[in-house]
Amino acid sequence: MKEDTLVVHEIYSSIQGESTFAGLPCTFVRLTGCNLRCSWCDTTQAFHGGKRMPRSEVREKALAFGTPLVELTGGEPLLQPGAIPLLCELCDAGRTVLVETSGEADVSRVDPRVHKIMDLKAPGSGESHRNRWSNLAHISPRDEIKFVLADRADYEWMRTVIHERNLAQLNCTLLASAVWGKLSPKDLVAWVLEDSLLVRVQIQLHKVIWGAEAQGV
């Protein structure tokens, strides 16, 4: 069955660099392939290649790192049918499980125990038209919606989306992140304070620690 194998770019442990889990030891399972091409994507190396592995092997390799926290990312992890049962099995194994997803893929079948970290792609990504707005119906208070912003226009788009889609009613964390090297976090913080906007500004911690070019961290 096509759910029995996964094409994997890498499996490694590091410090979680994003979301409200930032700073915690975490094992990352990064799947290969993505159907979007965000202009500023920092993981283009995961678009192609990878190694096809039995799902059981992916699971056991991830669990063997021993961290209580495990994240499935990519590429776009939810493009592979095996991602859904893998997330479920990692939860069954007692781990806190995160999935980092683009917001284009359907999240309705993700196990409710999983914390979904879902991007809403702003215009600067070039992929804003791909946002699957119906995904918002599957966001619970344990999930996090992330905006990665390239400029002031993206910030204003986020502000409009938060108000017009009434995202506060979802009771989930709203993350605002600057595209690394493009938008100054200082500017982002100033705008957030000016508007008293209820978002959590985040900095990609792994890039502060190891630099923007480091891979496998």
Ligand X SMILES: C[S@@+](CC[C@H](N)C(=O)[O-])C[C@H]1O[C@@H](n2cnc3c(N)ncnc32)[C@H](O)[C@@H]1O
Ligand Y SMILES: Nc1nc2[nH]cc(C(=O)O)c2c(=O)[nH]1
Question: Which residues bind to ligand SF4, rule: CB under 6 A?
Answer: 34, 36-38, 41, 43, 74-76, 102
Q: Does 59 bind ligand X (CB under 6 A)?
A: no
80 touches ligand Y by CB under 6 A: no
The listed partner (ligand SF4, ligand X, ligand Y, none) that binds 17, CB under 5 to 8 Å by sort, is ligand Y
Q: For residues 217 and 97, what is the distance between their CA atoms, to the nearest angstrom?
A: 18
- Rg of the Cα atoms in the chain: 17
Instruction: Give yes or no for residue 177 binding ligand X (CB under 6 A).
Output: yes
**Contact, 149 vs 158, CB < 8 A?**
yes
Half-sphere exposure in the Cβ direction for 158 (13 Å, CA):
31
Are 202 and 176 spatial neighbours (Cβ–Cβ below 8 Å)? yes
Peptide bond into 75 cis (omega under 30): yes
- For the chain, helix (H) and strand (E) counts, in that order, are 5, 9
Applying CB under 6 A, the site for ligand Y has a residue count of: 10
Binding ligand X (rule: CB under 6 A), the pick from 42, 111, 151, 187 is 42
Tell me which stretch binds ligand X (CB under 6 A): 7-15, 57-65, 81-89, 98-106.
98-106
Is the Cβ of residue 20 or residue 43 nearer to ligand X in the bound state? 43
Report if residue 202 touches ligand Y, rule: CB under 6 A. Answer: no
Give the DSSP letter of residue 9: E
Applying CB under 6 A, the residues found at the interface with ligand X are 34, 40-43, 73-74, 76, 100-102, 119, 146, 148, 177, 179-180, 204
